[in-house]
């Protein structure tokens, strides 16, 4: 049985990562897939995660001792990996169009009854839920017209 609604995420600090991530940052989506090969060469694959988990290496963007001190203080405040935090991904921070608009990503099709739609971003057939958008960063259109009533 899968829970329909999301519970509040535990151990999350609503603070932004303190250093600007630039083009020097290394970003890679990771998957957990086990591949078992039989003696005859047949492969069986099992994906352990439903979605990719993104790994960031911000080390190349650290440029001074002050940056190191900021980084250490931030991670000590989060108890290392014990508490989550906000991180603005400079490579995936918009809807994917040159000029973001209210019609870039389809969230759902209204039927006159349904009034709640999950905020998502699509990558071809893959869909990623966005659970903590930055206030004021989301633009929504209803019936092809942008609205702030959401």
- Residues 106-115: contacts with CB within 8 Å, 24+ apart? 107/140, 110/142, 110/143
Cβ atoms of 127 and 121 closer than 8 Å: yes
- DSSP bridge partners of 136: none
pLDDT digits (tens, 9 = 90+) for 72-122: 999 999 999 899 898 887 777 777 777 777 777 778 887 888 878 888 888
pLDDT digits (tens, 9 = 90+) for 138-148: 888 887 788 88
- How far from each other are the two terminal CA atoms of the chain, in whole angstroms? 30
User: If you ran DSSP here, which 8-state letter would residue 145 be given?
Assistant: E
Give me the pLDDT at residue 144, please: 78
């Amino acid at each position: 049985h899968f829970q329909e609604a999301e519970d509040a995420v535990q151990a999350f600090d609503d603070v932004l990562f303190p250093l600007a991530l630039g083009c020097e940052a290394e970003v890679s989506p990771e998957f957990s897939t086990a591949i078992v090969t039989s003696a005859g060469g047949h492969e069986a694959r099992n994906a352990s995660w439903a979605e990719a988990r993104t790994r960031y290496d911000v080390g190349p963007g650290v440029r001074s001792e002050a940056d190191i001190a900021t980084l250490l203080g931030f991670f000590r405040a989060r108890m290392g990996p014990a508490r989550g935090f906000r991180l603005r991904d400079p490579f995936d921070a918009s809807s994917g169009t040159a000029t973001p608009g209210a019609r870039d990503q389809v969230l759902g099709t209204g039927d006159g009854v349904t009034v709640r739609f999950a905020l998502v971003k699509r990558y071809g057939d893959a869909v990623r839920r966005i659970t903590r958008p930055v206030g004021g960063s989301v633009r929504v259109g209803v019936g092809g017209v942008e609205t702030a009533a959401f």
